[in-house]
Each structure stands twice: as structure tokens, then as C-alpha cells.
Structure 1
Amino acid sequence: MFSFALFANSVDAINKIIDHWNLRSKLNLSVDPCTPNATWAPETANPRIACDCSDTVCHITNLKIYALDISGEIPQELFLLTELSDLNLNQNVLNGSIPPAIGQLLKMEYLAFGTNNFTGPVPAELGNLTKLLSLSVGSNNLQGMLPPQLGNLTSLQQLYIDSSGVSGPIPQELSNLKSLQILYFSVLFSEKLTLWASDNHFSGKIPEFLGTFTNLKVLREETNLEGPIPSSFAALTKLEDLRISDLGPSDSSLDFLENLSSLSILDLSFNKLTGQIPASFKTFPSLQYLYLGSNNLDGDLPSDAITSSLVALDVSFNPLTGNVPLDRKDISVNAVGTSINDVNLNNEKASRMLHCLQGNTECRTKGPSTSFSINSGGTELAAADGIKFDDDLEQLGAASLYTNTNNRWAVSSTGVFISNPNGPQYTAQTDSQITGTLDSELYKTARISPSSLRYYGLGLENGVYRIDLHFAEIQMVDDPTSWKALGRRVFDVYIQGERVVQDFNILNEAGGSKRAVIKTFEANVTNTVMDIHLLWAGKGTCCIPFQSTFGPLVSAIHVSQVSESKDSSKSNKKRVGKILGISIGCAAGVMFGFLSVANKERGGPHENSFWERLMVNRTAFGAKLVDFCFVRKAISPHLKMIATLKRK
């Protein structure tokens, strides 16, 4: 038996903790754990025990058990280590509640409980830890509101509450946390102030007090809070990364952005924003990613908005007009659902598809199609039932639009993955066998997106269609003994603009990882286009089992016509009949007018004859028809515009 240079309580406590979590094989204390040269003492060690021996008796101050898949509840012996200042239990499978006794560790500065299976409330006793600099409770299954006592942590520099499960309004007391800081190890070792609060069930409006965090450099809010975006955000002039999406009822504009010239990433998609895109973006020298899609922004796209640093621009589904500047052919642009002319871009095919979706040109040069099939992210493949799936290998970017070689379908993707160790990947693949299907190869690849993934069927014959969406989760795992199984990919599915699935989780639906599942829907095509939209709404985890594991994923798509649309075909026939009738009438009017004029020029001896009276009547009728034709021709563009607005 060895001798600990520790308080007796600490000796007993550390041994019971090691046994409780079955760590003897990894942490077999054969010497004094406070020996400076022990293998578990360096900062890089895991597990790690470090001590402070500046007093006559050593004290355990650091305990790290990180990503070792320890399970069970937190043992009460942990709270006997009252000198702890750094406790890291991140990325394990711990369960139960976070004990209120955590409030006894008054010297705690760094506390990490993130990525576990903790349930219950966030203990109010955390507010006792006034020396706390960093707190992580993200990626858990906690319940209830954030306790207002967290407002006592005025020294707090790091706060991770993303995907924690908390709900309710954000406490006003958090306005005291004006020192939120996170150290990012970049080239310059610069400090970045960060608040991550995505994927929770917060309610109410975005707090005005967030605008008082004037040192904030990163702010992500994807929690379905209500707008508007507070005008106080105009004071956040140090922001480099601002992402706000899916606001509830909102009347926000972009006016608050005028002085936020330090931004490099700005994502304000899906927020019902109004007004125009400000020309002030020309003073944003570091802006690389600009996402303003699915709002109500109008007016022309300012040429100054596309700065020399801009890499990706998404302004899709806004009533915008204008042009993409001639000198920026290298930029990645998504302008679907606008009236912007992007003919200046290098991708002429994508430009033609854009015009097709805007209704300016035909979607296909051949006759209408009744089906299309796509092996998302993979090569051309024939399924067991004989269906041939097109390849989908195009390298999409942060705001991409691509039309396949036969013009039968197109795909667009929007968003940028954060901190992806493998770079900006927009496809996924696996070598593992996929179960639950005869077509394993079809599910070994997938198209993924960090925000919005959209497929369009082009030039389809109008009618009722069956849509088969094929899924298999090939990035996340389902081993219940590992923290890597705690990841949750959650997204919504829209077809023809209607949400057909909310909070879709492939793992849950398929019953496990690398298992195939097919979701089937029906929808009407009335304008030759099928719109299939997979949308990440800020839910689920972001970084399990590795960074940037989130957003929609789809393995394959098969769409086929079930029946012709009788209503639409009748409507089309009536419309064609009216057009033909008007055309024939116009032609008849011109002919009547011509004959009447010819008769007058020809003259005749029988001025009051039946033929002459008929020709006089024809002249009047023909003149009216000719007048109608010219009027119709003059107002035709306006009628088309009105019809387009009605369809919208």
C-alpha cells in the first residue's frame, strides 16, 4: 500500500471514484498521485489527476476523464475534493442528474459536463461557483429553465448550453455575464467571445441585453425565439460570426448591421426579414459568407454587396432583382426564387436552370418527363428493382446550384460547415454494409448540407407523383456504450413547399445506424417542377461523433408519376382553348377587316345589296376584333405578371 500526501478524505474519495467508473486499468495508482512526474499528471494525459502541493499538504485540483465512455451517475465522493478547480467529464455516457452538491466546489474555475446523458434541471447551486470561468452543459437531456442564479457567475468567460435540452425564457439575470470569453487556438491565439445557445427550447423574444455583450465575437441563435432582432445588436461591432435563423413572428430589417464590419460569416436565413440589402456591406472587408435566403427582402441586389472577399452568397427565395457583377465569376451564388440575373456566372448551366425555375425559359427542350431518380452523392447505379439512379457527384459549395447532364433534375445547397476537420465536405460515404435493403450500395453515399438541401425535378408532366426518399445514417453510430452514440441529426422535410416531416431523425426512424429506411409521400405537380427541400432548423447536435456532423442527409431519391392531374389537364385544355379562340378570333377579325377594305376599294354598283350590308357589318365587327388584338398584345406582359403573382 502506498502513501498519499493528501487529506485522508481525498485519499478515500479518489479511490472510490476510480473504482466507481472502472478506471483501474487506465489509472492504476501505484505511486503517490501527486508525484509531479507521474504519467497522469501532464496536461495532455487522459485520464488526468493533478495536484497543488504548495501547502504542507497536497490537494487534488484537476481531474480529467474525457471521452473514455465512463457510465453511471456522479459519485458523491467527487464532492469531497473541495480543492478542485478544473473538472472535465466531457464526452462520456454519464446519466442521472447533476447533483446540487456541485455547488460545494467553490474553487471551481473550469467545469465541463458536456456530451453526456444527464437529465433533470440545471442545478441552481451552480450559481455558488463565482470563480467559474468556463461552464459546459451542452449536448445533454436536461429539462427546465436555466436558473437565474447563473447570473451570479460574473467572471464566466465560456458558456456552452447548445443542445442541452433546457427550455423557457432566457433569464434576465444572464445580462450580468459580460465577460463571456473562449480562447480559440488560431494563428494569432486571439480571444473570441462566444455564446452558443442553439438547439434548445427557449421561448420568448431575443433578449435585448445580448446587445450589451460588446466584446462578443461569435453569436449563434437557432432556437426559434421570437423577433425582432434587437436594435441593440448594432453595438456588437466586434462580431465575426453571427447566425440567427428561424425567428418566430418578426418585423426585422438589416439596419442593425451597418457598423458590424468585422463580420466574416453572416447567416440570417429564414427570418422573415424585410427591407433592402444595405450597400454598407461594401465596408465589410472580411465578409466571406453571406446568407440571406428565404426572407422578404426586396429591391435590387447592390453590386457593392459582393465584396472582393466574398466566397458564397445566398439570396434565394426573396423578391429581389438586379444582376451579379461582371467581375465576380468566381463567386458561389444561389439566387433561386428571385428575379436576379446571374448570367455573368461561370456556370452557364446553373444559370439556365435558374431562369427555368424563375419561369423565364423552358425547363427542358424535349417532351415532359414522368420520373427521375438520383443516387445522392454517388455514382450511376441500377437498383434491384431495375430503377436506374443518376449519379450525383458534383462538388457543391457553400451556395451552389447544379443541373444534371440531361436537365431532368437540379440540386442546390446552402451553408458552411463549422470546424470540419475534413474540410468543407458536402457528401458522405461509408464502406460498411447497409442492412434492411437489397440495395446496400445505394445507401453507402449521401448528399449532406449544413443548412438547406434542395432537389428539383424539371420538365415534369403535371399530375400526381409518388416521392420515395431513401435514408441511412452513415456518419453517426448507435453503440449505447459510447459517447459517440449521443449524436442527433434532426431536420425537416418539405415537398412542394409543404412541410411533410418535422424533426426527422434517421437513426430513430431506421432503428439504428447504417440501416436503410424509405419515406414515401405523394404530391401534385402543376407547373412542371417538383421541389424537395431538406432543411436544418438548428436542432440536434453539431459535433458528435466529430465536428460538423449535423444538417440534412439523403441517400437517394426516386420520383414517379402516379396519375395525370385531371383538374390541371382540364384547366390546361380550357386555357389552351381560350388562347386558340382568341387567336382565331383575331385572325378572323383581320380577315374581315381585309375583305371589307378590299370591297370598299373594289366598289360595286349595288350599294344597298345584301352583300354590301353584310360587308358593312363585317367591317365594324372586324375592326373591333382587330382593336382587341392590339390591346391584348399591349397588355399581355402585364397579364403574365399578374398570373405569376397569383401563382406565388
Structure 2
Amino acid sequence: MKKISSLFIFSISLLLFFLLSPCLCATKKEKCNPQDKKVLLRIKAAFNNPYHLASWNPDMECCDWYAMKCDFKPPYRVIELTIFSGNISGQIPDAVGDLPYLQTLVFRKLTDLTGQIPRAITKLTHLKMLRLSWTNLSGPVPAFLSELKNLTFLDLAFNDLTGSIPPELSQLQNLDAIHLDRNKLTGTIPESLGNFKGKTPDLYLSHNQLSGPVPRSLGNLNFSFQLDFSRNKLEGDVSFLFGKNKTLPIVDLSRNMFEFDLSKVEFNDNLQYLDLKHNKIYGSLPQGLVQLSNLQFLNVSYNGLCGQIPTGGKLQTFDSTAYFHNRCLCGAPLPSCK
């Protein structure tokens, strides 16, 4: 009798589950915020309804659409929009600014994306990641990006951006990194970039047309991971970027016109990667390089260095290309000193 009763209860429970399932589905269909859904469809229309966004079907739950993500709890607002490597053409529509809960906005590897960065983006007050890279965006790096106070990551690399770096970017106090590399930026590095009030973001400024001296204010900062000023027209003494008190592991200053005495520079024990090739650096290699147990890459070629390469540490593990084309540098792995 007890077994029959248990079977009856199980059968009733199973029946109730199937009866209620359509209601549960209906609830799920209502999850997508209707205003966000309208905005997304406007964005799709602005891009001429590309196949890449074919899943953006107005008859379907928008939180399940491709290239976007909703918050998992009510009110289920759109928090991520990531459009990557698609056949997308046109300009970034102002409608992106009408997704008020957006935390991540990514348009990446979209070679037919053109025009300028719209001011409407500043309406996204919750935005933490802005990644507009590997596109054909043009125009300036907008100073109004400094209004996005919650940004932790700014990536505008691999575009056709022109003009100077806006000093207002230093007002972003939560940034971990700024990527402005691989553009057509000109002018000097703003003094203000040495005056970040919050975190010190890693700076990626390579492959531009920046000129003039690097502001000494940057010497007051302790970058956490990487500093890349390579392939510009920067000049002067940047020895202040180094020091025993720093922790920066990766430094690339190659292919500029920097000119300073390398023999007087002290390096931090955490240094792993140092590229100084194609500059006007003089003096000799400091003995302190021998003490860098973490050093994995070194290139000082095409400078005006002299003297014997210190022996020991990692310095003899690098091949001759790391040292050649200097004025009178000698010793292994180069020919011995006379």
C-alpha cells in the first residue's frame, strides 16, 4: 500500500511539472527587457541587418541572442555587447548609448566599421570595458571618454585614429590598461598621463607618430605589467622610467630616438623583457644586468654602446643579434674585445 501511495504522489508531481512547463517557458520569454530589445534591433538595422546578427530575431528571447549577454537576475538588462570578426559595415550607431546597464562594449576585428567614436557612448555610465579595435574607425581619440568613470580597460588599438592623445584620459582612475597602439597619433605624450590619481594603467602607445620627450612625470609611476612606446619618433632621456624601486616586467622603447647613458641605469629585479634597439643610447651595459634572474629577452642592437658585455647571468644566453650594430660593444656573444 505504501509503495502504491509513493507511486501515486510521484505521478501527480510529474503531471504537475509538465502542466506548469509552458508557464515557465512563458516567464522566460518575458525575461528580456523590452526597451533593450528595441535598442538592439535598432543597432541591427543600423548595420543593415547582417547575417552575423541573424539570431537577433524579434520573435525570440533577446537574452539568448548571439554576441550579447543579460544580467542573470532581474531586471535582466543587457550588460554585454560583443560583436567580433563579423561582416559588419557602417558606423557605430548612437543607439549603443541607449543600453544603460551595459558594462562591456566590444566591436573588434570589423574591418568595414568606419566613422568616428560617437559621443553617445558617454551615456553608458556603468561601462567597464570599451574595446573598439582592429576596425577602420577614424577621427580623434575623444576627450569625452574621460566621462566614463568606471572604465577599467580602454582598447582603441589597430584603427586609423589621428590627432593627439587627450590629456583628459588621466581622469580615469580605475583603468588597468590603455591601448592606443597601431594608429596614426601625433604630438607629444601628455604630461597629465604621469598624474593618474587612482590606478596606474599600463600604456600601449606603439606604432604611432608620437614625437618629443617623454614627460618626466611618468617616472613617478610604477607600471604593473607593460610599457610600450616602440616605433614612434620620441626622443630624449627616458632613464627615469627605470629604477630598483620599480616592478615593471616588460619595457619596449625600441625604434625611437632616445638618447641617454645606459651605464648609469639601474633595473628592477622583476624585469623580464627589455627592448631598446634602434635608438641613440650610449655608454656601456651596466653590470646590474647580470643580476636579473628573470630576464628572458634583451635587445640593445643599433645603438652607440661600447665596452665589454658583462659576463654571467642571462647575458650570454642571447645571440649576437641582441647586441650587434653598436659603436664598440664586444665580448661574448660578440667577438672578443681587443
TM-score w.r.t. structure 1 length? Answer: 0.44
Matched, 1:283 2:301: no
Alignment deviations for residues 547-605 of structure 1 (CA, whole Å, 9 cap, x no partner): xxxxxxxxxxxxxxxxxxxxxxxxxxxxxxxxxxxxxxxxxxxxxxxxxxxxxxxxxxx
Q: 1:33 aligns with which of 57, 62, 70?
A: 62
Q: 2:128 maps to what in 1?
A: 109
Does structure 1 retain, via aligned residues, the 8 Å contact 2:82–2:106?
Answer: yes
Measure how far apart 1:311 and its partner are.
Answer: 3.7
Structure 1: segments with no counterpart, 5+ residues = 41-46, 182-193, 325-332, 343-359, 361-648
Q: Compute the RMSD of aligned alpha carbons.
A: 2.5
Q: 1:12 maps to what in 2?
A: 38
Which runs of structure 2 are paired with 1:114-133 in the superposition (5 Å)? 114-133=133-152
The code of the aligned residue for 2:178 comes to L
Matched, 1:226 2:235: yes
Measure how far apart 1:291 and its partner are.
Answer: 1.1
Which runs of structure 2 are paired with 1:26-425 in the superposition (5 Å)? 26-29=54-57, 30-34=59-63, 38=64, 40=65, 47-52=66-71, 54-55=73-74, 57-93=75-111, 94-177=113-196, 179-180=199-200, 194-222=202-230, 223-234=232-243, 237-248=246-257, 250-256=259-265, 258-304=266-312, 306-307=314-315, 310-313=317-320, 314-320=322-328, 322-324=330-332, 333=333, 335=334, 340-341=335-336
Alignment deviations for residues 451-505 of structure 1 (CA, whole Å, 9 cap, x no partner): xxxxxxxxxxxxxxxxxxxxxxxxxxxxxxxxxxxxxxxxxxxxxxxxxxxxxxx
| Distance change >3 Å, CA 293–CA 75, structure 1 → 2 | same
Does structure 2 retain, via aligned residues, the 8 Å contact 1:210–1:233?
Answer: no
Aligned residues: 304
Does structure 2 retain, via aligned residues, the 8 Å contact 1:69–1:91?
Answer: no
The code of the aligned residue for 2:85 comes to A
Does structure 2 retain, via aligned residues, the 8 Å contact 1:288–1:312?
Answer: no
Could you tell me how far apart the structure 2 residues matched to 1:196 and 1:279 are?
Answer: 29
Structure 2: segments with no counterpart, 5+ residues = 1-27
Which runs of structure 2 are paired with 1:562-577 in the superposition (5 Å)? none
Measure how far apart 1:205 and its partner are.
Answer: 0.5
Could you tell me how far apart the structure 2 residues matched to 1:158 and 1:228 are?
Answer: 24
Measure how far apart 1:201 and its partner are.
Answer: 1.8
Measure how far apart 1:142 and its partner are.
Answer: 1.0
| Distance change >3 Å, CA 254–CA 110, structure 1 → 2 | farther
Alignment deviations for residues 145-193 of structure 1 (CA, whole Å, 9 cap, x no partner): 1222211111001211101222211122222446256xxxxxxxxxxxx
- Answer with 1 or 2: which has the greater Rg: 1
Could you tell me how far apart the structure 2 residues matched to 1:306 and 1:11 are?
Answer: 58
Could you tell me how far apart the structure 2 residues matched to 1:76 and 1:283 are?
Answer: 54
Does structure 2 retain, via aligned residues, the 8 Å contact 1:285–1:307?
Answer: no
| Distance change >3 Å, CA 49–CA 232, structure 1 → 2 | closer
Measure how far apart 1:62 and its partner are.
Answer: 0.6
Give aligned-pair identity as a percent.
26
| Distance change >3 Å, CA 102–CA 5, structure 1 → 2 | same
Measure how far apart 1:127 and its partner are.
Answer: 0.6
Could you tell me how far apart the structure 1 residues matched to 2:157 and 2:245 are?
Answer: 24
Does structure 2 retain, via aligned residues, the 8 Å contact 1:270–1:293?
Answer: yes
Measure how far apart 1:228 and its partner are.
Answer: 0.9
Measure how far apart 1:277 and its partner are.
Answer: 1.1
Could you tell me how far apart the structure 1 residues matched to 2:263 and 2:30 are?
Answer: 62
Aligned residue for 1:173, secondary structure, equals helix
Could you tell me how far apart the structure 1 residues matched to 2:87 and 2:279 are?
Answer: 39
The code of the aligned residue for 1:272 comes to K
Could you tell me how far apart the structure 2 residues matched to 1:319 and 1:8 are?
Answer: 69
Does structure 1 retain, via aligned residues, the 8 Å contact 2:295–2:314?
Answer: no
Could you tell me how far apart the structure 1 residues matched to 2:245 and 2:150 are?
Answer: 26
Aligned residue for 1:18, secondary structure, equals helix
| Distance change >3 Å, CA 305–CA 3, structure 1 → 2 | closer
Aligned residue for 1:262, secondary structure, equals coil
Could you tell me how far apart the structure 2 residues matched to 1:253 and 1:130 are?
Answer: 39
Could you tell me how far apart the structure 1 residues matched to 2:331 and 2:134 are?
Answer: 46
Could you tell me how far apart the structure 1 residues matched to 2:302 and 2:315 are?
Answer: 22
Could you tell me how far apart the structure 1 residues matched to 2:36 and 2:85 are?
Answer: 24
Could you tell me how far apart the structure 2 residues matched to 1:235 and 1:323 are?
Answer: 26
Alignment deviations for residues 396-428 of structure 1 (CA, whole Å, 9 cap, x no partner): xxxxxxxxxxxxxxxxxxxxxxxxxxxxxxxxx
Does structure 2 retain, via aligned residues, the 8 Å contact 1:106–1:131?
Answer: yes
Could you tell me how far apart the structure 2 residues matched to 1:247 and 1:254 are?
Answer: 19
Could you tell me how far apart the structure 1 residues matched to 2:159 and 2:295 are?
Answer: 33
| Distance change >3 Å, CA 197–CA 254, structure 1 → 2 | farther
| Distance change >3 Å, CA 128–CA 54, structure 1 → 2 | same
Aligned residue for 1:142, secondary structure, equals strand
